[in-house]
C-alpha cells in the first residue's frame, strides 16, 4: 500500500574524509537538485559537516526551520557509522543516544512526520537508543544493519531518490534501492514508527526477566494478592485466574495507549521506566 509522503524538503548531511568519494555530494548534484523540481514547493540542500559541533548545529538549524504546515524535512545522512554511533570525519563520535535526542526534537515539531535515511554502516543500531517509554524519533526509517561499500551507497541511493521523487511512493523507492544492489548479504530495511514500537516493545518483555509477559504478570499478581496476604488461601484458583486475566488485559491496553504516546498521537504517557 502506498504510504503518505509528509516531507517537502530533503537535507543531505555529509561528513566524509578528504580522500573519500563524496557520495552525498554526488547524489545531491546528480539527482536531488533536479528531481525536486518535479514537485512544486519541494526543495533540497547539501550540508557538509566537519565536526560534531557543526553536525549538532545543522540539526538544530533544521529543527528551527521545521513546521508541520510549511517546512517538512526529510533527513539523509551520508556519514560513517559503527555499532556505537556516527563517525564524523575528524574522528569524533555522535552516539546513537545523541542522535536520538536531536531527531526527536524535529519529529516532535512535525508530530511524527519525519523521514530519515541513513547511508551509514550499522544505521539500524539507532534502534538501541529508542525506548518504548519515550517518543519516536521518526515516522519512517530506511537503513542497514551492516557495513556498506561507498560505491554501492551512491548508486543505490541515487536509484532510491530518483524513484522516491518520481513516484512519491516509499515502497517503490525501497524496491529500487535494494534492486540496485541485489547481491548484498542483507537488504536495506524500511520501518515506520508503528512497526518500530512493536519491535522495541520486546524490551518491555526483557525487563521482566522471564520468558513471557504473562508469566511475569502471574508472578506479580501472586505476590500482590497472595504472597503478602496473611491468609495464603484467600483466593481460589478460579479467582486468581480471573485476576491474572484482568491484569494481563490492563497491561495489553496500556501498551496500546503507550503506543499512541510514542507516535505523538496522545500527550498522555502511560508507562514509566
Residue 207 pLDDT class (50, 70, 90 cuts): low
Does the domain at residues 9-192 carry the CATH identifier 3.40.50.1950? no
d(CA 65, CA 189): 28
pTM score, two decimals? 0.85
**Selected residue with higher pLDDT from 123 and 51:** 51
Q: What is the pLDDT of residues 177-198, one digit of tens each?
A: 989 877 765 678 888 999 999 8
Q: Which three cell numbers stand for residue 146?
A: 551492516
Torsion of the alpha carbons at 221, 227, 228 and 229, rounded to the nearest 10: 100
DSSP letter, residue 91: S
Strand partners, 73: 9
Q: What is the pLDDT of residues 16-64, one digit of tens each?
A: 988 899 999 999 999 999 999 999 999 999 999 999 999 999 999 999 9
d(CA 69, CA 125): 31
Q: Residues, the chain, total?
A: 273
Name the pairing type of β-strands 93-95 and 85-87: antiparallel
Q: Which three cell numbers stand for residue 95?
A: 552516539
d(CA 60, CA 65): 9
Phi and psi at 9, nearest 5°, equal -150, 125
Q: Residues 23, 78: contact at Cβ < 8 Å? A: yes
Domain ranges of the chain: 9-192, 202-262
Residue 209 pLDDT class (50, 70, 90 cuts): very low
Which of 30-34, 106-110, 177-181, 211-215 is least confident? 211-215
Amino acid at each position: 500500500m502506498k504510504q503518505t509522503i509528509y516531507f517537502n524538503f530533503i537535507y543531505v548531511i555529509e561528513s566524509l574524509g578528504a580522500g573519500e568519494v563524496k557520495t552525498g555530494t554526488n547524489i545531491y548534484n546528480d539527482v536531488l537538485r533536479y528531481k525536486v523540481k518535479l514537485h512544486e514547493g519541494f526543495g533540497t540542500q547539501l550540508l557538509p559537516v566537519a565536526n560534531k559541533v557543526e553536525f549538532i548545529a545543522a540539526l538544530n538549524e533544521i529543527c528551527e526551520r521545521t513546521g508541520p504546515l510549511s517546512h517538512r524535512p526529510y533527513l539523509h545522512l551520508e556519514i560513517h557509522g559503527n555499532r556505537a554511533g556516527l563517525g564524523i570525519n575528524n574522528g569524533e563520535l555522535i552516539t546513537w543516544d545523541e542522535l536520538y535526542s536531536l531527531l526527536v526534537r524535529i519529529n516532535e515539531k512535525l508530530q511524527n512526520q519525519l523521514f530519515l535515511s541513513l547511508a551509514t554502516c550499522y544505521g539500524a543500531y539507532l534502534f538501541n537508543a529508542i525506548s518504548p517509554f519515550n517518543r519516536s524519533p521518526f515516522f519512517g526509517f530506511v537503513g542497514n544493519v551492516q557495513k556498506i561499500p561507498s560505491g554501492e551507497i551512491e548508486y543505490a541511493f541515487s536509484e532510491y531518490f530518483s524513484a522516491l521523487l518520481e513516484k512519491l511512493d516509499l515502497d517503490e523507492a525501497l524496491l529500487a534501492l535494494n534492486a540496485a544492489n541485489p547481491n548484498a548479504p542483507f537488504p536495506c530495511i524500511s520501518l515506520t514508527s508503528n512497526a518500530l514500537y512493536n519491535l522495541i516493545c520486546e524490551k518491555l518483555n526483557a525487563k521482566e526477566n522471564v520468558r513471557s509477559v504473562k508469566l511475569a504478570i502471574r508472578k506479580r499478581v501472586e505476590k500482590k494478592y497472595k504472597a503478602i496476604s496473611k491468609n495464603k488461601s484467600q483466593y481460589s484458583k478460579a479467582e486468581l485466574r480471573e485476576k491474572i486475566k484482568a491484569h494481563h488485559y490492563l497491561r495489553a491496553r496500556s501498551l496500546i495507549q503507550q503506543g499512541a504516546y510514542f507516535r505523538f498521537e496522545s500527550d498522555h504517557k502511560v508507562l514509566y521506566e
